[in-house]
């Protein structure tokens, strides 16, 4: 199912005698509508139509919608419309595998392996991985799911010299765990580059979104010592992820983030 679909009409009437302001009444009507009538991804009627329904100015209606967007009940897509929000996974910047992170979140991870083979490094890939052009690399491409829903599309690249015979066996369920168990490679540190991107026709179909849909792109360089072991490019559905980045001033310690 496409993430954005037409939805049932909104029903509700304002109490003109109530001491509760109109925008708050509208907010609760829409909140109840989102929770009990619609599924995540369903589209709200246009603002003009809703303003006419409730007999209020669009400014009043927009105030109610803004409040629900802030509460993450609704989500806006610029130039497209307002939708019932999906519950977002709190994606922390950690050097964990996808399986480890989803299990930690109480979700059931799954993946569809799209490619698991050995290829020669292209010029671009060799620069990112700091290896010779044409050197063999393991390519591991997966569609990652949580509780049966598409979450991200991941491309991992590993120097074949570090993981001999890796592609001769079945694709790993958990990449980082497999690297540890089979090759003794425990990833120690990494760098993530985070940016926005738009869904291409190819990855839109896999992620079940429309072409041009906003995605979160994370490029990762993961190391053991000074050696790069995993170079990956992941694109996440922006309606199902939010980033959480703990910050700490150098030289101080906060017990709040001790678990991260």
Q: What is the pLDDT of residues 207-216, one digit of tens each?
A: 999 999 999 9
Tell which residue, 102, 84, 87, 185, has the closest CA to residue 142.
102
CA distance 186 to 178: 10
pLDDT digits (tens, 9 = 90+) for 190-245: 888 899 999 999 999 999 999 999 999 999 999 998 899 999 999 999 887 777 66
Distance of alpha carbon 128 from alpha carbon 140, whole angstroms: 16
**Spans of all domains in the chain:** 22-84, 89-257
Residue 1 has pLDDT above 50, yes or no: no
Q: Specify whether the CB–CB gap between 100 and 176 falls below 8 A.
A: yes
- The tens digit of pLDDT for each residue in 104-125 reads 667 787 889 999 999 999 999 9
Q: Residue 237, Cβ neighbours under 10 Å: how many?
A: 23
Q: Please tell me what DSSP assigns to residue 46.
A: P
* DSSP category for residue 213: -
With bands split at pLDDT 50, 70 and 90, how would you rate the model's confidence at 18? confident
Q: Mean pLDDT of all residues in the chain?
A: 84
CA 1 – CA 103 distance, rounded (Å): 25
By the 8 A CB rule, do 74 and 68 touch?
yes
Burial 8-36 (b: 16+ CB within 10 A, else e): eebeeebeeeeeeebbebbbebbbebbee
User: At the top level of CATH, which class does the domain 89-257 belong to?
Assistant: alpha beta
As a whole number of angstroms, the distance between CA 193 and CA 141 comes to 19
- Whole-structure pTM value: 0.61
| CATH top class, domain 22-84 | mainly alpha
């Amino acid at each position: 199912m496409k993430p954005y679909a037409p939805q049932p009409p909104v029903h509700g009437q304002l109490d003109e005698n109530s001491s509760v302001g109109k925008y708050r009444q509208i907010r609760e009507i829409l909140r109840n509508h989102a929770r009990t009538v619609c599924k995540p991804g369903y589209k709200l009627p246009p603002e003009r139509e809703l303003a006419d329904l409730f007999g209020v100015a669009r400014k009043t209606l927009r105030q109610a919608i803004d409040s629900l967007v802030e509460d993450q009940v609704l989500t806006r897509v610029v130039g497209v419309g307002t939708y019932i929000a999906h519950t977002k996974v709190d994606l922390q910047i950690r050097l964990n595998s996808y399986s480890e992170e989803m299990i930690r979140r109480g979700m059931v991870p799954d993946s569809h392996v799209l490619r698991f083979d050995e290829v020669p490094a292209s010029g671009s890939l060799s620069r990112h991985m700091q290896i010779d052009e044409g050197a063999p690399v393991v390519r591991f491409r997966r569609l990652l799911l949580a509780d049966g829903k598409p979450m991200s599309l991941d491309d991992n690249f590993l120097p074949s010299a570090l993981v001999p015979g890796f592609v001769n066996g079945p694709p790993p369920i958990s990449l980082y765990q497999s690297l540890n168990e089979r090759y003794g490679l425990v990833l120690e540190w990494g760098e993530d580059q985070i940016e926005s991107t738009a869904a291409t026709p190819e990855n839109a179909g896999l992620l079940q979104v429309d072409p041009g849909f906003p995605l979160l792109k994370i490029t990762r360089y993961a190391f053991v010592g000074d050696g790069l072991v995993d170079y990956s490019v992941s694109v996440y559905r922006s309606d199902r992820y939010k980033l959480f980045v703990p910050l700490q001033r150098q030289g101080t310690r906060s017990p709040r983030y001790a678990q991260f």
